[in-house]
């Protein structure tokens, strides 16, 4: 099992987006703790396997965030399975998982699988569209989801997904204080070292995605930003 508990910074690469070899090398050799492969739309078996084989030229751990059954490629170090806690239909909470297990259950390498309890906090994101998720409401609601993941379901990861927008650091701080065992992942809208550092004060793991495709050099600086935050709250 990959030591997710040591991951402070993660780069998230989308198989449906183009990245040149030079940028990919910089990202993989940046000192980030892991590469997470995943996206909400346009992810296929082919573009996933292509991205994996390119990342595999480097020593960095590489995990797949499973979003579509037909894009589950063998050979990743770890498989992160999102359970979208605020999804609008059972399908994205557990429905698709059950269908997947019905088909592939006997072949799942369970020692390489971890569940992420997701809460989607940006209603305008494509992940919100796909999962029909609804914003939980206020901070109290998000904290209730955090308790559900942490204490009731005992999920290893609670993931605050602001997808494309920068979240509220105060909320991340308060959620972190609520959690006892689950690891807190933060993702969304990080564009520079300062933002990465700010979220890393509270989140155990900071996930940086889109900026890679907009300004790779800015993206690289987020690694240092997270490191300079020290140990989270």
In the complex, the residues that contact a copy of itself under the rule CB under 8 A are 81, 83, 85, 87-90, 93-94, 97-99, 101-102, 105, 108, 110, 113, 115, 136, 140-141, 143-145, 147-148, 151-155
Q: What is the DSSP letter of 16?
A: T
- 164 and 127 Cβ atoms separated by less than 8 Å: no
CA distance 191 to 208: 8
Residue 13 bridge partners (DSSP): 37
Q: Is the dihedral of CA 181, 182, 188, 190 positive or negative?
A: positive
- Which CB sits closer to a copy of itself, 21 or 140? 140
- Which CB sits closer to a copy of itself, 108 or 130? 108
CA distance 64 to 82: 11
Q: How far is the CB of 16 from a copy of itself (least distance, A)?
A: 25
Q: How far is the CB of 64 from a copy of itself (least distance, A)?
A: 15
CA distance 139 to 153: 20
- Which CB sits closer to a copy of itself, 30 or 178? 178
- Which CB sits closer to a copy of itself, 133 or 222? 133
- Which CB sits closer to a copy of itself, 141 or 215? 141
Q: How far is the CB of 135 from a copy of itself (least distance, A)?
A: 13
Q: How far is the CB of 101 from a copy of itself (least distance, A)?
A: 4
173 half-sphere exposure, CB direction, 13 A CA radius: 6
Residue 157 bridge partners (DSSP): 116, 183
- Which CB sits closer to a copy of itself, 116 or 198? 116
Residue 159 bridge partners (DSSP): 118, 185
Q: How far is the CB of 201 from a copy of itself (least distance, A)?
A: 24
Question: In this structure, what is the dihedral angle of CA atoms 62, 63, 69, 75, given to the nearest 10 degrees?
Answer: 50
The CA-based diameter of the chain, rounded to the nearest angstrom, is: 45
Q: How far is the CB of 149 from a copy of itself (least distance, A)?
A: 9
Please give the distance of CA 199 from its chain centroid, rounded to a whole number. 14
């Amino acid at each position: 099992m990959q030591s997710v508990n040591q991951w402070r910074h993660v780069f998230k690469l989308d198989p449906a987006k183009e990245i040149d070899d030079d940028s990919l090398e910089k990202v993989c050799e940046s000192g980030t703790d892991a590469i997470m492969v995943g996206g909400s739309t346009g992810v296929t078996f082919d573009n996933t396997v292509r991205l994996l084989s390119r990342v595999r030229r480097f020593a960095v751990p590489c995990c797949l965030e499973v979003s579509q059954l037909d894009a589950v490629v063998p050979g990743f170090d770890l498989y992160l399975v999102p359970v979208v806690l605020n999804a609008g239909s059972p399908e994205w909470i557990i429905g698709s998982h059950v269908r997947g297990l019905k088909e592939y259950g006997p072949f799942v390498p369970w020692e390489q699988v971890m569940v992420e309890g997701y809460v989607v906090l940006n209603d305008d994101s494509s992940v919100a569209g796909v999962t029909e998720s609804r914003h939980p409401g206020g901070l109290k609601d998000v904290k209730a989801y955090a308790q559900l993941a942490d204490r009731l379901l005992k999920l290893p990861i609670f993931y605050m997904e602001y997808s494309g927008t920068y979240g509220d650091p105060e909320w991340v701080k308060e959620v972190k204080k609520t959690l006892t065992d689950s690891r807190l992942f933060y993702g969304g809208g990080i564009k520079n070292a300062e933002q990465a550092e700010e979220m890393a004060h509270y989140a155990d793991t900071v996930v940086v995605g889109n900026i890679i495709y907009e300004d790779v050099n800015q993206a690289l600086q987020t690694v240092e930003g997270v490191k300079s935050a020290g140990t989270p709250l």
